[in-house]
Amino acid sequence: EPEVTQTPSHQVTQMGQEVILRCVPISNHLYFYWYRQILGQKVEFLVSFYNNEISEKSEIFDDQFSVERPDGSNFTLKIRSTKLEDSAMYFCASSEGSGGGETQYFGPGTRLLVL
């Protein structure tokens, strides 16, 4: 069964450093998403991406964040200068379509720890 994959599974970084989280969405999916989950809290939407551009972003997704689809398979989230409060699980998701009812499938997540 096709699944979303993410690398790395864990990332430890120093405050102020840049990190890139990688995702390989399900191959025939056209919509891509990043969510995060701070320990013990609910899953929060960060950004959605379609047709090589951001379609929606949350207030969390400030100028320190960026997304890219560098090739036909990868989807990346970059945090330019990490802060302590960026420590969280980051989930990538993808869906075949949108517009009401297209299931988003989630990857296993990357646990980011900023020291």
Partner 1 sequence: GESVGLHLPTLSVQEGDNSIINCAYSNSASDYFIWYKQESGKGPQFIIDIRSNMDKRQGQRVTVLLNKTVKHLSLQIAATQPGDSAVYFCAESQYGNKLVFGAGTILRVKS
Segment near partner 1 (CB under 8 A); pick from 12-20, 67-75, 79-87, 89-97? 89-97
Instruction: Report the residue number, 19 or 33, with the smaller CB distance to partner 1.
Output: 33
Segment near partner 1 (CB under 8 A); pick from 13-21, 55-63, 72-80? 55-63
Q: Judged by CB under 8 A, does residue 99 bind partner 1?
A: yes
Q: 25: closest CA among 92, 86, 97?
A: 92
Q: Judged by CB under 8 A, does residue 35 bind partner 1?
A: yes
Q: Judged by CB under 8 A, does residue 97 bind partner 1?
A: yes
Residue 60 one-letter amino acid: I
Tell me the Ramachandran region of residue 101: left when phi exceeds 0, alpha when psi lies from -120 to 50, beta otherwise: left
Q: 57: closest CA among 39, 78, 34, 79?
A: 34
Q: Measured between alpha carbons, how far is 57 from 21 in angstroms, rounded to an integer? A: 17
Q: Judged by CB under 8 A, does residue 96 bind partner 1?
A: no
Chain positions contacting partner 1, by CB under 8 A: 4, 33, 35, 38-45, 48, 55-56, 58, 91, 95, 97-109
